[in-house]
Each structure stands twice: as structure tokens, then as C-alpha cells.
Chains A and B, each alone.
Chain A
């Protein structure tokens, strides 16, 4: 019995860490051969020296701050515009081609444009993130609001649920699975844009720092930067999943009940 439990835990550990350990070992074995691939120990050391320093406050946190600011603005904008567009068929028909066009523009090409309009400082970087994140949020909100259940809409009318309560208790909640899907897409676009906005004419930030390491051939430091970006991406996506599970618990529950 006890051995069985221990055996199961053992299998889990192997499953979780087996392949990553093998991959790191493989990395270590091939690392000596190329100038561009320093061994894991050096990268780990560089990671500690590079990022557990003043850089956290000078580069990393400001970058993340801009990302969150842009993401929050895009959320307000995307949901705020998406709800009325989703509720009005006429408005939707009018704006659909325009929105499709804006969505199809690869967000990074807006960087040169926004540099022109908003300079090279924080406002430009935040604006870049907003301009990329807003479309998936907006379009998914429109889709979610459009597909609200008609019977529920009738129920609201019948029982006099209207105005702000209707918006909060019915429209936003009913569209929330779609809105969350849009927010998830926007998050990965936001991280990309956070990095790119700092690769142009910038003097600080994560993207700038990593490119600087590359230009100065500080290869281990560069790799540690890539690793850090990976960790940030992973952390944000885990956080997002945590929030999503909370917000949409009813949705997953109802889905499981139907299946």
C-alpha cells in the first residue's frame, strides 16, 4: 500500500521532471561545441548576476508595468467598445470590415508609426501594447455579446432586469467566456509587443537589454534574458489561467454537466 503510494508519487516526479532534466543534460553535453551555446551552469550564473540586481527595478519591472498598463487600457477599450457594437446589429454590420482590417495588420508594424506620433518614451510603448491587444479583446467581446442567449435576454426583459444590472449580471457575464478567450490571445500579443517596443530606439527595458547583450556578444547573459522572458511568459499565463478558472468556474461546471 505504502509502496504503491510512493510509487505513484515517483511516477509523477519522473513525468514532471524527467524530460526537462534530460533536455538540460543534452544541452550541457552539446554546449561546448558552439560559441553561441554556453553551458547551463554559466547561463544560470549569468541569470543570477544579471537579473538579481538593480536591473529588476531599472528594466524588468518598468517593462512589466508598461505591459500591464497597456493590457488594462486595451481591456477597458476593447470591452467598452465591443459591448455596444455587439448589441447593435447595424453598428456591427457597419464596423465589421473596418475591424477585420485593423485586426489583420500585424501589430509590430505599428511601432514605427507610433514612434512618429508619440515619440519613443513610455507613452509610445504603452500605446503599442494597447494597439495590438485591443483587437482580439474587441472582436471576441463583439462575438460573445452577439451570441448571448435569447431566452436569457427574454428573461431579463420579462423580469424588468435592465440598465446597469443587465449589463453587469447578464451581458458581461454571458459574454465572459469569449471575452476571456480574447484576453488570453491579447496577453501573448502584449508580451511580444512589450519586447519589440523596447528594441527600437530605447535605452532601457527588457527588450533593449537583451538586444544589448547580443550586440556586445555577452552570450550567456543573452540566454539568461531569453530564459527570463520565458519565465515571465509562463508566470503570466499561469496567473491568467488561475484568474480564468475563477471567473469562468460556472462555465466549466455547466460544460461538464452537459457532457
Chain B
């Protein structure tokens, strides 16, 4: 579904050029949930923006369902880290979710249905007519997720979506993502700096080096498919995987 081949990104400015990503090659199969972790400043956001078609790449290629990415692909949605800035403050929750659908010219009855279903799936039916800034941070991120879900994407990109919410909310949102992923069969690429989160959510975890970025490891997470916060996180295997990734990242930081 998602193929990244020898992706390279160099930031050019008149005085100097900075190599952010050296070479990345990996793919994400249809319906897979893959997490990307790496030390801070390793170009995770650059990678995600390149895949999303928001940033021109310096070399290599990104393909979504076989089609090379040159701009934002039509059936891809992104949930940004800055929930407070990715929602339109002058629109209600409902209008925020509805706007992309209007732009896609989804007929009105279907549109209303999608909005209703997606808000229901994130548990925000009652907040539909509120403005985003009247909601808590976690609820705002739910709105952003509902907007992505209503868009009916093939691929959902998430850029450290829960980095700015408190621990309890974060656990709830992680389970929400798992539930939506199972129900919708959507392909998800989830970028995070939190190793626990990556292991808990992912079927695979891709570990990145520090900048200029290469892939350190592409790790299959062999935990039971059914996950929940308490039992999954207390499995011995969970601890092993987490320790393994932690060690790789430590090494990546020292190598710098």
C-alpha cells in the first residue's frame, strides 16, 4: 500500500545544506499498522511530511497504492501533533469534520452520515456543535481523528498525535486508534518518540537512526493481536521488545 524507496531529503539554503534523511526504504502492507520510532531530532516529522506529499523530496520515491506521490495523495489523511492548530477555531466540531467531505463533493446525505458515524466512533456525538477550543486537548485530538476517519482514507498518517496529552488520555486514545484500525481496515503509519507506545500499537516497529537518518531495524512485534493496556504491557515479551528498541536508540544517539 505504502512504498518508500531510497527516500532522501536535504534542506538546501544559500549558505549550507543539511542532510536530514540519508536513505530510507521500507513498505507498509494494506491494512497494516506500523510505528516509526527514533531519537529526538531524527527527522521523523520530515519523513512523515515527505510521505504526505507536503514536502518535496531530494531523492527516491514514495508510492501510495502504486502511484508516485507528488502532492498530497487523494486518499490519505494526516493527524498532526499540534491538535490545537490543526482544527479550524472558527468552525464547530461538526464543520471541521464536514469541510473535507464538502470539498470532495460527497453528497449531502452521505456526508451527514459520515460525520455522525465518525463523531460517534470517537465518542464526541454530544460535542458536535461546540468549537474546538471549548474542548480539552484529548477531545480536540479526537476531533482530528474523527475528521481523518470521515475522510475514508486508505492510508492514515499520524505524527506524534498523543505527545501533548496527559497519560490517562493518551492510553484511551491509543485504544481508540487500535479499535478504529480493526474496524476500518485502514493502513496506518504512526510516528512517535515513545517506545512503549510504538510496541503497544504496532504490528511492526521501524527504528530510525539520528540524522542523517537511516533505518536501524525493522522489527516485527510478535505480541498477541488482541491488546489491552494492562495485560499487554505486563507481558514479559513486551518488556523484551521495549528493552531491545531502547538499546538500539541509545546506540544511535551515542553514534552521533
A binding-site residues for B, Cβ under 8 Å:
149, 151-152, 154-155, 157-162, 165, 169-170, 173-174, 176, 250-251, 253-254, 257-258
A159 touching B77 in the complex, CB below 8 Å, given contacts A149-B85, A257-B133, A258-B133: yes
Closest to B101 in A: A159
Alpha-carbon gap, A80 to B227, bound state (A):
54
Pick from B78, B85, B102, B133: contact of A158, CB under 8 Å: B78
A253 touching B88 in the complex, CB below 8 Å, given contacts A158-B72, A158-B76: no
Alpha-carbon gap, A51 to B76, bound state (A):
65
**Does B99 sit at the interface, judged by CB under 8 A?**
yes
Structural contact, A155 and B80, CB atoms closer than 8 A: yes
Structural contact, B102 and A151, CB atoms closer than 8 A: no
Structural contact, A151 and B85, CB atoms closer than 8 A: yes
Pick from B54, B89, B102: contact of A157, CB under 8 Å: B54
**Does B151 sit at the interface, judged by CB under 8 A?**
yes
Pick from A151, A165, A250: contact of B82, CB under 8 Å: A151
Provide a sorted-by-A list of 21 A–B residue pairs whose CB atoms are within 8 angstroms.
A151-B80, A152-B86, A155-B80, A155-B86, A157-B54, A158-B52, A158-B77, A159-B103, A159-B151, A160-B72, A160-B100, A161-B100, A165-B99, A170-B88, A173-B90, A250-B90, A251-B90, A253-B89, A253-B133, A254-B89, A257-B133
B binding-site residues for A, Cβ under 8 Å:
49, 52-54, 71-72, 74, 76-78, 80, 82, 85-86, 88-91, 99-100, 102-104, 131, 133-134, 147, 151
Structural contact, B131 and A159, CB atoms closer than 8 A: no
Alpha-carbon gap, A161 to B49, bound state (A):
17
B155 smallest CB distance to A (angstroms): 11
Closest to A248 in B: B90
Closest to B135 in A: A257
Structural contact, A250 and B131, CB atoms closer than 8 A: yes
A79 smallest CB distance to B (angstroms): 17
In the complex, what residues of A have CB within 8 A of residue B53's CB?
157
Alpha-carbon gap, A104 to B48, bound state (A):
45
In the complex, what residues of B have CB within 8 A of residue A254's CB?
89, 131, 133
Structural contact, B103 and A162, CB atoms closer than 8 A: yes
In the complex, what residues of B have CB within 8 A of residue A157's CB?
53-54, 71-72
Pick from A158, A165, A170, A173: contact of B54, CB under 8 Å: A158
